[in-house]
Homo-oligomer: A and B are copies of this chain.
């Protein structure tokens, strides 16, 4: 028989799949001997069974009864007992932390009867009724799906009737009356009475937690965080402890290091006489954890000891929740804590320095996404006219500029229209998730670094400043008022600095990050501890990785930057990028040439320009390989737009000249229904006489000139869009003919390998044949994705992609992260069959996937030799290549 329930004494931290993160860690702490309230965990298996079948699994009831009995025995109280009730919380806990995304119900076990017992036992009638009304409120919202607004309005009404400003002014009698009102709301809205049977409460709450896995906001969060939809959540049933039993009670959240900076030393918030959700929601302002030492030294000392123990045990930053009930400390949760990108690097290297982990392990503690975040620009406030609006909590670093919006709907709308927006809220809640995703940054007036806004923004790498109490936010009037009566309305621009907590009026210019300046060679590794940490990590990644990292760059300055950023070569020079601006006319002349003479004239004019381009690039990359792709795009990209030209001609009418008419005729003739599937790539090279020859001549001459000047140019020529070995053979023959000609003319020998992009599915399918005639393959995963799926990025990302992500057809766009099963399979197969045919075949990838962390891992596993990406992504790819190598045991997986 399956086991669906685990006592905290039975689990451990490695059972996260089964017990969820929270349950596994509660068990771990229990086994470490820490003061954890007793309880048990219902497994994710049970959840998945419930979600699949709409019913809990056979036998779960009995198991729960058994573990509940044990819990009751342990606590010496019975659930919901009228005289001395055991109360429990029911909390969700999935494998991956989804803060605030799913449901919790506290105070299960209270009823019209047991509330009296609780009052007596706690010697606090107000506390008992407040607990009861909280239960009904939470249960109503969570389990019975009643709009929370009904309960909020009832509280407001009670306060108004009493003339009370805060909830605290409501006394026991008021809360008792409110409880009656709440029960009325439940009956009216849900059509059932609030259940008085504590076990019924428990069972209903457990099912509600199961179901909350598929709530819209949870689905959205998982998609954002790429958490698989099929995991399900565990449910933790824990004996209640109370932080709201008076001033000798309280609740707090803490980190074993500063999650924003990574600095050593505990860090947290504490709230006297409060329950946990009061801290997280940021509704009341907390005091720094250090103040607890003054309030309750014994608990403080014990907490410090526990936190040291936890960090040493987990060998990482831990994030904890605790409650003090009448002077007794209880640990409610721990987990490896989320952190900013800077903190991740500092903590990883800090732990290495402290001898806690080694460098391989350090690589697993940081990510390319985090490194990319550190490379974001920062505000440059050195100029004049920088007006600070306020300074508040630096909750998630970064520099964000945008138009102010006061609600998530508007944020989504404006962002959808291409605007950059800053979401300004008094405080955020899980319903604001889509607004936060849409915004550049988030600014709140309530809550600290552990508030919802702060935690979620950090998780997303989104800039966040919170707790800006100087700001008065009027969401209805869509206006905020700051110090000295300054007002900012919807649409006005703010700049928020999540690193410093400063908020500026208007747009502040941004400047490069220290990390970028370090990569640029402008700052030494020992400039500051963050740069030092990045330097340490990158050095180890470079030592560990098997993949080379090349860059996609089309001109000298980009190549030079790529080289500074650590590129070991250029994996893609897009020669068509050299045909823009003034040269466009020459290309148009080339295409429209009426005679061989005209065509040759255009080619002759282009050749020296191209030679200059290649000289600059090869010089910048001297000694490193430079893969130059011959011209690729459809010809009519260089011609006027057919529709625009047709309209112009129609309006000209009789005034159109013969040349006008000829142009229109040619544009019409060359127009393609599906240019991505038309005359482009190698087809062009075989179609327009002299184009390939001109490009190859320019490359070879540039290389010969540099070689004569004592340099070491290493050009490689790449034929695009090949689908058959014949195309490769014919082009290669023509390329080699020109190379030989130039060698004879210049008397200089330059080794120029000729290879191809693998970007049509057919090329991948017949790669073994193509390899016979290609010195290298570079996977063009943009086109390969396009053709394998049969959709073009231009056409579909704006139309049905978001719908497809909603429907779960894919979790992330296959243009962003390589589609392992489809496109990835073709890549693996082509690599294997290419290498089988030509063991020294050099393999790379130059699509945009080359700078995507997950894709870099895939290319490492597929045994490629290098990835090539935009210069700015080179450090990210280096880091991920190192991480992938460490994860696969550092060995060559080929």
A821 CB contacts on chain B under 8 angstroms: 765-766, 769
| B792–A678 touching, CB < 8 Å | yes
Shortest Cβ-Cβ A-B pairs, 4 listed:
A677-B792, A761-B761, A762-B822, A678-B795
Within 8 A of B (CB), among A712-767: 721, 723-724, 726-727, 730, 759-762, 765-766
Known pairs A787-B761, A787-B787; A678 contacts B766 (CB<8 A) = no
Classify chain A's interface size: 35 or more
Q: List 14 A-B contacts (CB under 8 A).
A: A674-B674, A674-B676, A674-B795, A676-B677, A678-B791, A686-B804, A686-B809, A687-B800, A723-B788, A760-B788, A760-B789, A761-B790, A762-B822, A787-B790
Q: Are A807 and B677 in contact (CB under 8 A)?
A: no
Beta-carbon contact of B788 and A765 below 8 Å = yes
Closest B residue by C-beta to A642: B643
Q: Which residue in chain B gives the minimum CB-CB distance to A723?
A: B789
- Judged by a CB distance under 8 angstroms, whether A808 is at the interface is yes
> In whole angstroms, how far apart are the Cα atoms of A821 and B726 in the complex?
13
Q: Least Cβ distance of A443 to chain B in Å? A: 34
Assess A799 versus B678: contact at CB under 8 Å? Given A792-B673, A809-B726, A821-B769.
yes
Chain B CB within 10 Å, residue with most, of A673, A721, A807: A673
Does A672 sit at the interface, judged by CB under 8 A? yes
The CB with the most chain B CB atoms within 10 A, among A800, A808, A826, is that of A800
In chain B, what residue has the closest Cβ to A829?
B765
**Interface assignment of A486: CB less than 8 Å from any CB of chain B:** no
A643 to B649, CA, bound (A): 12
**In whole angstroms, what is the CA distance A760 to B787 when docked?**
8
Q: Is the pair A678, B724 in contact by a Cβ cutoff of 8 Å?
A: no
A789 contact set on B, CB distance < 8 A = 723, 760, 762
In the bound assembly, the distance between CA atoms of A795 and B679 in angstroms comes to 8
- With a CB–CB cut-off of 8 A, which chain B residues contact A647? 646-647, 650
Which residues from B are CB-within-8-Å of A646? 643, 646-647
Interface string of A796-823 (1 = CB under 8 A from B): 1001100110011110000000010111
The chain B residue sitting closest to A668, CB to CB, is B643
CA distance in complex: A679, B795 (Å): 8
Min C-beta distance of A749 to chain B, whole Å: 26
Is A594 part of the contact surface with B, judged by Cβ < 8 Å?
A: no
A766 & B822 in contact (Cβ 8 Å cutoff): yes
User: How many copies of the shown chain assemble into the complex?
Assistant: 2
Contact check, A786 vs B677: say whether CB atoms are below 8 A apart. Answer: yes
Contact present for A761 and B826 (CB under 8 Å): yes
Indicate whether A783 reaches chain B with its CB closer than 8 angstroms.
yes
Residue A484, interface by CB 8 Å:
no
Any B CB within 8 A of the CB of A794 = yes
Contacts of A800 in B (CB 8 A): 679, 683, 686-687
Chain B residues with Cβ below 8 Å from A799 are 678-679, 687
| A825 at the B interface (CB under 8 A) | yes
Taking each of A679, A683, A790, A807, which has the highest tally of chain B beta carbons within 10 Å of its own beta carbon?
A: A790
Interchain CA distance A674-B600 in the complex, whole Å: 32
Given A672-B795, A678-B791, A809 contacting B766 (CB threshold 8 A):
no
Q: Which residues of B contact A726 (CB under 8 A)?
A: 807-810
A675 on the interface (CB 8 Å rule)? yes
Provided the pairs A672-B795, A673-B676, A721-B790 are in contact, do residues A803 and B765 lie with their beta carbons within 8 angstroms? no
Chain B minimum-CB-distance residue to A769? B821
Question: A477 on the interface (CB 8 Å rule)?
Answer: no
CB of A823 within 8 A of CB of B673, answer: no
Instruction: Point out the residues of chain B lying under 8 angstroms from A727, CB to CB.
Output: 809
A765 surroundings in chain B (CB, below 8 A): 788, 821-822, 825-826
Kindly name the residue among A674, A723, A730, A759 whose own CB sees the greatest number of chain B CB atoms within 10 A. A674
Known interface pairs A672-B792, A759-B790; 5 further A-B residue pairs with C-beta atoms within 8 A, sorted by A's residue number = A673-B674, A674-B792, A687-B803, A730-B809, A760-B790
Q: Quote the shortest CB–CB distance from A654 to chain B (angstroms).
A: 13
Q: List, in ascending order, chain B residues with CB within 8 A of A673's CB.
A: 674-676, 792, 794-795
With a CB–CB cut-off of 8 A, which chain B residues contact A687? 799-800, 803
B761 touching A810, Cβ below 8 Å: no
Nearest chain B residue, comparing its CB with the CB of A648:
B650
- Is A651 close to B, CB under 8 A? yes
Contact with B along A778-789 (1 / 0, CB 8 A): 000001001111
B809 touches A788 (CB 8 A): no
| Residues in B neighbouring A672, C-beta threshold 8 A | 792, 794-795
Given A787-B787, A790-B787, residue A796 in contact with residue B678 (CB < 8 A): yes
A825 to chain B: closest residue by CB: B765
**Please, which residue of chain B has its CB at the minimum distance from the CB of A635?**
B799
Q: Which residues of B contact A822 (CB under 8 A)?
A: 723-724, 761-762, 765-766
Kindly state the separation between the CA atoms of A651 and B821 in the bound complex, as whole angstroms. 51
Given contacts A686-B800, A821-B769, A822-B723, contact A788 B790 (CB under 8 A): no
Please state if B794 and A674 are interface contacts (CB–CB under 8 Å). Answer: yes
Q: How far is the CB of A726 from chain B (nearest CB, A)?
A: 4
Q: How far is the CA of A800 from the CA of B650 in the complex (A)?
A: 31
- Cβ–Cβ contact A723 & B762, under 8 A: no
| Distance A620 CA – B866 CA, assembled complex (angstroms) | 59
The interface residues of chain B lying within 8 Å CB-to-CB of A723 are 788-790, 822
A677 touches B678 (CB 8 A): no
Give the contacting residue for A683; candidates B676, B721, B766, B796; CB below 8 A: B796
A761 touches B788 (CB 8 A): yes
What does the 1/0 interface line of A350-380 toward B look like (CB < 8 Å)? 0000000000000000000000000000000
Smallest CB separation, A803 vs chain B (Å): 6
Closest CB in chain B relative to A714 CB, distance in Å? 29
CB distance from A195 to the nearest CB of B (A): 35
List CB contacts (< 8 Å) of A647-662 with chain B.
647, 650-651
> Across the interface, do A677 and B791 meet the contact criterion of CB distance under 8 Å?
yes
Q: Which B residues lie within 8 Å of A809 (CB)? A: 686, 724, 726-727, 730
Complexed CA–CA distance, A29 and B804 (Å): 71
**What's the nearest-Cβ distance from chain B to residue A393, in Å?**
42
On whether the beta carbons of B678 and A762 are closer than 8 Å, the reply is: no
Report yes or no: B790 in contact with A677, Cβ–Cβ below 8 A: yes
Q: How far is the CB of A341 from chain B (nearest CB, A)?
A: 33
Closest to A764 in B: B761
A732 to chain B, nearest CB (A): 13
The 8 A CB mask of A508-545 against B (1 = contact, 0 = none) is 00000000000000000000000000000000000000
Residues from chain B with a CB closer than 8 A to the CB of A760 are 788-790
Which residue in chain B gives the minimum CB-CB distance to A645?
B643
